[in-house]
């Protein structure tokens, strides 16, 4: 058994997550595992590779080679601050919210001596840019390994590594003093992006849409990243890998906008 990660993780923003009881907030190992699998696929892993790492049922039944455990959740007693577009969660899901600044212990193990480079990189993304719970695409439930507080320059260097794997990070120039401030700025930029680049709401594009009984989640994620000086860098994360057939990429528009 090899330890891949065994340390504390901080919730950068309020996290709306729960288990069987929707009124009880809970950090679930299955949610983190699901986020890891999502990034593994987004980085280009095949269905066969996914089964080899995470296991599967049916004709390709196979046990998982990785174990994810969550323990020692320490909820911070802090006010829940969210931009206007997310405040409705406080009414419908307020009881199932883990406030920002809360910390939990995350342990990730491999039953083998090592995992593939793609699985390793996707785990690294989860530990630095991951998000769990409702509305994680729009910044809720952002989590970050507690010992990872990069300078802005170091973060941009890491962003170049992701670009080589078709994950684009767009960082705003100014940092914010709080995660709440960063979320507000990010939401303003999404609205400005739609307007300036002509990306229509609910049109069949990668920003996400609902058309009748068809739904496509956004390929654009936003979140604050805590830097070494304790400021918050507003970051946009984009990958075309999650695009469904016939859905238009917005990468050219994002590149022009930034």
Interval 73-83: pLDDT, tens: 998 888 787 88
Residue that is last in its domain, among 98, 130, 148 = 148
pLDDT of residue 197: 93
Whether 114 and 179 share a structural domain: no
Whether 19 and 30 share a structural domain: yes
pLDDT string in tens for the chain (258-residue length): 899 999 999 999 999 887 666 667 789 999 999 999 999 988 888 888 888 888 877 666 678 899 999 999 998 888 787 887 776 666 665 567 899 999 999 999 998 877 889 999 999 999 999 999 988 999 999 999 998 999 999 999 999 999 998 999 999 989 999 999 999 999 999 999 999 999 888 889 999 888 877 788 889 999 999 999 999 999 999 999 878 888 999 999 999 999
Whether 56 and 141 share a structural domain: yes
Task: Write out the residue range of the structural domain in which residue 250 sits.
Answer: 149-258
Whether 188 and 203 share a structural domain: yes
pLDDT of residue 20: 67
| Tokens found for residue 206 | 């990668």
Whether 21 and 45 share a structural domain: yes
Whether 25 and 35 share a structural domain: yes
Residue that is last in its domain, among 131, 148, 165 = 148
Residue that is last in its domain, among 148, 168, 183 = 148
pLDDT of residue 88: 67
pTM as predicted: 0.90
State how many domains the chain has: 2
Query: What's the sign of the alpha-carbon dihedral 152, 158, 164, 168?
Result: negative
Whether 94 and 173 share a structural domain: no
Helix, strand, coil percent values for the chain (each to nearest 5) = 35, 25, 40
Interval 194-215: pLDDT, tens: 999 998 888 899 998 888 777 8
Whether 103 and 204 share a structural domain: no
User: What letters, b where the CB count within 10 A reaches 16 and e where it falls short, cover 150-185?
Assistant: bebeebeebbeebeebebbbbeeeebbeebbbbbbb
Whether 40 and 101 share a structural domain: yes
- Asked if 68 and 29 touch (Cβ cutoff 8 Å), the reply is yes
Long-range contacts of 79-83, Cβ-Cβ distance < 8 Å, separation of 24 or more = 80/14, 81/14, 81/178, 81/180, 82/14, 82/140, 82/180, 82/183, 83/180, 83/183, 83/184, 83/187
Whether 33 and 128 share a structural domain: yes
Whether 126 and 179 share a structural domain: no
Whether 88 and 7 share a structural domain: yes
């Amino acid at each position: 058994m090899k330890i891949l990660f065994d340390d504390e993780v901080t919730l950068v923003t309020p996290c709306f997550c729960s288990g069987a009881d929707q009124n009880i907030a809970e950090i679930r190992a299955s949610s983190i595992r699901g986020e890891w699998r999502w990034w593994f696929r987004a980085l280009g892993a095949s269905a066969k590779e996914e089964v080899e790492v995470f296991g599967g049922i049916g004709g390709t039944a196979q046990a998982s080679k990785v174990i994810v455990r969550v323990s020692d959740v320490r909820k911070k007693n802090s006010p829940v601050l969210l931009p206007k577009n997310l405040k409705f969660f406080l009414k419908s899901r307020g009881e199932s919210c883990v406030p920002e600044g809360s910390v939990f212990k995350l342990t990730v193990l491999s039953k083998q001596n090592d995992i593939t480079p793609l699985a390793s990189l996707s785990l690294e993304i989860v530990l630095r840019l991951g998000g769990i719970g409702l509305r994680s695409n729009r910044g809720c439930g952002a989590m970050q390994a507690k010992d990872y507080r990069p300078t802005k320059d170091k973060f941009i260097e890491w962003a170049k590594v992701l670009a080589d794997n078709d994950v684009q990070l767009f960082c705003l120039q100014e940092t914010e003093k709080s995660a709440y401030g960063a979320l507000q700025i990010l939401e303003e930029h999404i609205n400005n992006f739609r307007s300036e680049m002509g990306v229509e709401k609910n049109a069949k594009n990668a920003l996400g849409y609902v058309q009748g009984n068809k739904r496509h989640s956004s390929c654009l994620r936003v979140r604050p990243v805590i830097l070494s000086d304790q400021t918050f860098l507003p970051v946009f994360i984009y990958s075309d890998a999650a695009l469904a057939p016939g859905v238009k990429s917005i990468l050219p528009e994002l590149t022009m906008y930034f």
